[in-house]
Amino acid sequence: MHQRISRGAAAVSMVAASALLLAACSSDAETEETTSPAAETSESATAEAEATAFPVTLDTAMGEVTIESEPQRVVTLGSHEHEYLYALGVAPVAVPVSWQGYENGTGPWAEEDRVAAGAEPELFEPGTTTYDAEAIAAFEPDLIVATYPNHEMTEEEYTLLSGIAPVVTRPATNSADGSETAEWGVTLADELTLLAEATGTTAEAEQIISDIDAAYAEVRDAHPEWEGLTSQVGGFYEGQAFVYAASDTRNQFLANVGLDVASIEGTDEAWMQISAEQLDVLGELDSIVWQVATTPDSRTELEALPLFDSLNVTETGGNLWLTDPVLEGAFFANSPSSIEYSLDAFVPMLEAALDGDPATEVVPFSSEG
């Protein structure tokens, strides 16, 4: 991922240097050509690739959808799809307001990608239980993206929105095993690949996925001792602890750094609540990431539960407290830009939590330094 950013910076430098060179070498005589044959060939190849990418038919959870030509006015309906598009160099015209109140609908981790894509989207309230079709239609979209929606889309909503523009929902199947995808449980690679096909940016997606895979592999290679260790992401809600399903994107992150997140029974749904009397179901986990940034009192309530001190994570120092709201947003986003942010934050905490020494302090990450 760092390589992708570095290449972007290098490209800017090369363009600036070329401009200075042309200015220095120019004379009063006008040149007939300002574009090199190599540049013309490259631009022609790019245009040809974009032209042959459409029409494209995508297999989504709501059925096949055909996109006739390269979208020019994309509207997103979920919490992170626009960050995927920014990474691909696509600028949506409208995105939902940020659940954390950020400008441009996204957190600071995605600002560089947004600026690079030239995106200045309008913000709107998409609705948490039903979609406002009239508001969406007002943006005159030629593509609607809802691969990670605010609520599960109904057939009626899909039909209504499809009357406005083609609607891309999550992929129908997982590329790894061909199984049916779970709502809010699609892998980054599968979601990014689908959006790239929808926008004619497959080459960009392949490079991004390669960079992310390399970043995860670097962490795994540096920590072979994590192999076989177990972890989960959880929290505290309405008086009960909970953990997310193994397919949840946050648990996917832990799995990608080499941890086993499938050791808890009963998390086939998006999340599983655990009563105080059943907290020992978490008893043998090696680490737990407790999300408490938006509910700071949750830590005190969790630590006060009668069985909390008897958990293995408590005895070995394996509790990680996610107390920073910026990191909570990035961890939830699971977008190309947020993965880099999350890795930088979580790896030091995991190193401390998983060393087996309860005396090692796991210092919570702070975006304020």
pLDDT, tens digit, 9 for 90 and up, residues 240-266: 999 999 999 999 999 999 999 987 765
DSSP 127: -
Spatial distance between the Cα atoms of 204 and 84, rounded to a whole number of angstroms: 11
Spatial distance between the Cα atoms of 55 and 52, rounded to a whole number of angstroms: 8
Query: What pLDDT shows up at residue 157?
Result: 95
Query: What pLDDT shows up at residue 269?
Result: 64
Spatial distance between the Cα atoms of 95 and 3, rounded to a whole number of angstroms: 28
Torsion angle (degrees, nearest 10) of CA 269, 274, 278, 280: 90
Contact of 58 with 67, CB cutoff 8 Å: yes
Query: What pLDDT shows up at residue 309?
Result: 96
Query: What pLDDT shows up at residue 264?
Result: 78
Q: Please report, for the chain, the start and end positions of each structural domain, with discontinuous segments joined by +.
A: 52-211, 223-353
Given a cut of 70, the residues of the chain with pLDDT beneath it are 1-51, 265-269
Dig out the tokens for 343 from the structure. 């890795």
- Return the CATH superfamily for domain 52-211: Nitrogenase molybdenum iron protein domain (3.40.50.1980)
DSSP 149: B
- 151 exposed, middle or buried (CB, 10 Å; 0-12, 13-18, 19+)? middle
Dig out the tokens for 150 from the structure. 């605010």
Fold of 223-353: Rossmann fold (3.40.50)
Kindly report, residue by residue over 85-110, the tens digit of the pLDDT.
Answer: 999 999 999 999 998 999 889 999 99
- 236 exposed, middle or buried (CB, 10 Å; 0-12, 13-18, 19+)? buried
Query: What pLDDT shows up at residue 328?
Result: 96
Query: What pLDDT shows up at residue 266?
Result: 57
Query: What pLDDT shows up at residue 49?
Result: 53
Q: How far is CA 115 from CA 89, 336, 363, in A?
A: 9, 15, 32
Q: For 175-203, give the secondary structure using H, E and C.
A: CCCCCECCCCCCCHHHHHHHHHHHHCCHH
Give, in degrees to the nearest 5, the angle at Cα 276 between 270 and 280.
80
Contact of 66 with 56, CB cutoff 8 Å: yes
Query: What pLDDT shows up at residue 6?
Result: 33
Spatial distance between the Cα atoms of 299 and 306, rounded to a whole number of angstroms: 14
Helix ranges restricted to H, the chain = 2-25, 37-52, 81-88, 111-117, 133-137, 155-162, 188-199, 202-222, 249-256, 297-303, 312-316, 325-333, 336-353
User: Do 52-211 and 223-353 agree at the fold level?
Assistant: yes
Which residues does 103 contact at the CB level (< 8 Å), separation at least 6? none
* Angular region, 124: left φ>0, alpha ψ -120 to 50, beta rest: beta
Query: Which residue, among 152, 195, 155, 188, has the nearest Cα to 337 in the 3D structure?
Result: 188
